[in-house]
């Protein structure tokens, strides 16, 4: 149920570079990673950008929410200076450009849809439509290992993604397995469950696998914990510590 890479660089470069930037992505690639998890939300003009927080102030100086600005305004902001002076001026990436860069360099993508409140349907549909167009050839060829996976905590966003691009695989994100986790996953025809490893139990992992879903955990930063999770049947995970956990870790590398 998991034809994708098993170890993903969280938000691009983990702790080695500013998150959700092309500089971060390049650092992940330098560490050998060819699989990445990153976040996408809509700017005010409906153009998707690569950012985690719905507001400015942590990784991008400024105030207000992402949807207070058009995409070209966000793209002119500094998304790297907070991390280190060497990254000053690193822009907020546009989703299309970021995804095209990943595709051109053979980097597989787990795209987390992060809608602002009230924009769940619009965000899910927009991200799915763009990803579907970018990977139309791979989808037509049935090359599932290269087609990106869409994930979200938002059920509405996943429903919209399903309706717009049913051919793209989807995953349900949940901090812990809710009592109705299987019903929610089947409603959006999800192929996988993504959950916080801190709340996962061996019994929960077994239930997900028995139900026929792939099982992915975030964000695993200790090698011993990663080995334990793999032993439970977890198929993949993302990590910030790309300096400690290599891309071949799950295969013993």
- Any idea which residues carry the catalytic annotation? 10, 52
- Which residue shows structure tokens 């969280």? 10
- Is the separation of the CB atoms in 174 and 154 below 8 Å? no
Tell me whether residue 137 is exposed, middle or buried, using C-beta atoms within 10 angstroms of its C-beta: 0 to 12, 13 to 18, 19 or more. exposed
Contact 167, 132 (CB under 8 A): yes
Give the residue among 253, 249, 202 at the shortest CA–CA distance from 227.
Answer: 249
């Amino acid at each position: 149920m998991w034809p994708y890479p098993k170890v993903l660089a969280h938000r691009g470069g983990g702790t080695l570079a500013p998150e959700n930037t092309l500089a971060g992505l390049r650092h992940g690639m330098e560490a050998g990673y060819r699989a990445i998890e990153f976040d996408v939300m809509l700017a005010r003009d409906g153009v998707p950008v690569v950012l985690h927080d719905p507001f400015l102030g942590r990784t991008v100086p400024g105030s207000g929410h992402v949807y207070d600005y058009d995409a070209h305004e966000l793209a002119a902001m500094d998304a790297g200076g907070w991390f280190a002076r060497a990254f000053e001026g690193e822009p907020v990436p546009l989703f299309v450009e970021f995804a095209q860069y990943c595709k051109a360099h053979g980097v597989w993508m787990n795209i987390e849809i992060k809608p602002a409140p009230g924009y769940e349907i619009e965000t899910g549909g927009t991200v799915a439509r763009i990803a579907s167009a970018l990977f139309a050839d791979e989808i037509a060829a049935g090359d599932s290992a290269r087609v990106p996976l869409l994930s979200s905590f938002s059920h509405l966003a996943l429903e919209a993604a399903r309706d717009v691009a049913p051919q793209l695989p989807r995953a349900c994100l949940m901090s812990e397995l809710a009592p109705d986790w299987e019903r929610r996953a089947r409603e959006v025809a999800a192929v996988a469950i993504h959950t916080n490893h801190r709340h996962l139990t061996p019994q929960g992992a077994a239930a997900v696998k028995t139900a026929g879903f792939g099982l992915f955990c975030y964000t695993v930063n200790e090698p011993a914990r990663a080995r334990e999770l793999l032993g439970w049947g977890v198929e993949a995970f993302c990590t910030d510590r790309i300096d400690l956990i290599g891309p071949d870790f799950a295969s013993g590398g």
